[in-house]
Amino acid sequence: MTLAPRRLLSRLRDLRARAAAPLPELVRLVAAELVSEVCSVYVQRPGDILELAATEGLNPKAVGTTRLRVGEGIVGLCASTAAVMNLPDAQNHPSFAYRPETGEDPFASLMAVPVRRSGRTLGVLVVQNRAPRHFTEQEVDDLETVAMLLAEMLPASGAAEGRTEGLGATVPRVFAGTALMAGIAIGPVVLHGTRRTGIKLLADDPEAELKRLHEAAERMQRGLDALIAGVPTGGRSADASASREVLEAYRLVAADAGWLRRVGEVIRGGLTAEAAVQRIAGEMHDRMRRISDAYLRERLADMEDLANRLLTTLMGEEPRGPIPPGAILLARRLGPAELLDWHAAGIAGVAIEEASPSGHAAILARALDIPAVGATRGMLDTAEPGDEAVLDGDEGQLVLRPEADVRQAYARALEARGARYAKWATLINRPGVTADGTAVSLMLNVGLSMELAQLDRTGAAGIGLFRTEIAMLARGAIADVGEQAAIYARALDEAKGRPVLFRTLDLGADKLLPGTVVEEENPAMGWRSLRVGLDRPALLRRQLRALLLAAGGRPLSVMFPMVATVSEFRAAKALLVAEARRIRPSPERLSIGTMLEIPALMWQLPELLKETDFISIGTNDLLQFLFAADRGTPSLYERYDVLSQPMLDLVDQLVVAARAAGVPVSVCGEAASRPIEAMTLAALGVTSLSMPASGILPVKALLADVDLTEFRPVLAAIRRGDGGAISLRDPIANWARERGLPL
């Protein structure tokens, strides 16, 4: 089976010029050009039904009568997964659904290609042959081009776009997701990703289209340069500090010639520049949506953002109109530059169907102080532009078309939230101290330079966790020594003498750089963090050298993540000490500490406390390793609790031993940012808590009202009396509420 794609596209263009929806002619033409014995088109009808609409090679009486549900049979599976099915022996595939009226018994090999537009399935294009065979990559590519053209024709044949929602537009709906940025927004929804219609598909002059592509790419790149150059580097505005690292990484992706070369190849095959960009964007989407790694999936939003920008440049579209006051943006995915654009337009909140807390959109939402929710799947199939919505960034949910009483309740909560923030603002310049006079240092967790302005905005006592890998993940590569040193020096400069604890690169598990992917059944417990650094000492030494250079004689604190044995800590410490001997000026004071995330260290405390200058508890990993519960598994999110007997016993034992050895203990996991956990940790003797910026003032407010001398015996009684309980949260919270503490 051979194909001359330019000739086929030329004949399809002539065919479209003669008829509005010539499906019978199309399947005959494709079958002839592909030298295929069968070519069929299944069209999606309302109710998630796929109906045979045209065929060449099967029984013509089956047209209009053969139907499959989406997900049923190979055709239904292709529609539900949006994946190409390339099968040499289709009838022995476990999903094969036999339809005797079609007369398809003699045909062994089958290729099914989804017909999609704007991310939604309209139908399925199928070719079949008698001989068992795999269709070649070129043949798959050619049929996908035909499917793209077919996507513009099927609406005229009554195709219904695949939807998961059949409810009326007035029914309230609640979409539970993941909190990306705390806050509440109430207002009309606007939908991201308006559909482009009227795109010309077939090129008259491929060389002219290639020229248009390259000119548009250059204009787009200049626009990105201007966007980044226009972001100020100082001041308190989060918009002004809008993640230079993330945007620079985005610009590097935009400048990558690889994907533009692929677009050029498609143009040479006969498509216009616009159609070729859409085609390649669709291919990248279908490949990347199957990647399980959360960070790599986030890059999909960047690529779709770029494709949309390039299409806008090619088509010379006007900017979007004014955004309604208080608008909430709903998006399937969202790239960093797009979020900046929408923020400038005035959105009050954003909900993203495919987003994680570590993704670029979430990082920027926190920097821009935009309430945000992720993983709200299905909302775009339900929402209509202008629908009223409530976005609850505290609980991680979107309420679409809320009832009047629900809206009023959230409006009251929003008003109360404003009052709370006004009260908290008075605490900014006060140190963290409890009602009984116990000092507790409240520090920041940061990973990007844009977050440093939060030091002054929150009145934080310093940076208790500088995640050095975040800037590398944002740029997609490990920076050289000079670039790293500049990042670390800026953190020390912005801290203005306040302590900064740098954690060395914590790569692996869900934090992967291109080229570092390792096939592991359980990457969270595999080759990651310090294990990578010790196995690649040159990589670790470069980072340690950059940290020492950044200090420039100032005090420097460095801690190593994922330490499992004292010998590992000694090996890492030796590398740092060796580098320190070579760098001048030497740090005024060099403090070397460890994260405690692996429970095995608890049985090595005597030796560890002789070696380390400080210990920082990472509650996120410690909790998952203590209870053998992957924190990336949704069904286990709330099954195990920091406020459980085993965790509190562990922290208590560590604090007692460390205090005797004169080694300070801090907590830098997510638990430190929740007031009730912060109160409990402080009662156990933890004197330093590091957290995201949003947690500083609420925790400071609670600590200011709690008397630890009163709470400690209560906590001890709760721990004695609830042996074996899953969590001690309820009795602790009840005690706090009885005293009117602001949980």
Active site residues: 360, 668
Are the C-beta atoms of residues 1 and 137 closer than 8 Å to each other? no
The angle at the Cα of 538, spanning 535 to 543, to the nearest 5 degrees, equals 110
Question: Residue 2: exposed, middle, or buried by beta-carbon count in 10 A (0-12, 13-18, 19+)?
Answer: exposed
Q: Which candidate, 72, 158, 161, places its Cα nearest to that of 116?
A: 161
- Helices in 553-692 by DSSP H: which ranges? 566-582, 605-611, 619-627, 645-661, 675-683
* HSE value, Cβ hemisphere, 13 Å, CA-based, for 93: 22
**Contact call for residues 728 and 722 (beta carbons, < 8 A):** yes
Tokens read off for 716: 């001890």
CB 69 within 8 A of CB 76: yes
Strand partners, 443: 690
Calculated CA dihedral for residues 731, 734, 739, 743, nearest 10 degrees? 110
Q: Collapse the DSSP code of 129 into the 3-class scheme (helix H, G, I; strand E, B; otherwise coil) and give the result.
A: strand
CA angle, corner 148, sides to 63 and 106, nearest 5? Answer: 40
Instruction: Give yes or no for a contact between 476 and 253, defined as CB atoms under 8 angstroms apart.
Output: yes
For CA atoms 622, 627, 630, 633, give the dihedral sign: negative
- Length, in residues, of the chain: 743
The answer to whether 172 and 399 have CB atoms below 8 angstroms apart is yes
> Are the C-beta atoms of 199 and 278 separated by less than 8 Å?
yes
Residue 268 gets the label, from left (phi > 0), alpha (psi -120 to 50) or beta, of alpha
Peptide bond before 585: cis, by omega within 30 degrees of 0? yes
Strands 372-374, 178-181: parallel, antiparallel or unpaired by DSSP?
antiparallel
Q: Are 386 and 368 in contact (CB under 8 A)?
A: no
Phi, psi of 307, deg, nearest 5: -60, -45
- Write out the E strands in 452-578: 463-467, 500-503, 556-560
254: left (phi over 0), alpha (psi -120 to 50) or beta: alpha
**Amino acid letter for position 346:** G
CA nearest neighbour of 256 among 296, 303, 215: 303
Express the helix, strand and coil content of the chain in percent, nearest 5 each.
Answer: 50, 15, 35
CB neighbours of residue 716 within 10 Å: 12
- Measured in whole angstroms, the distance separating CA 615 from the mean position of its chain's CA atoms is 30
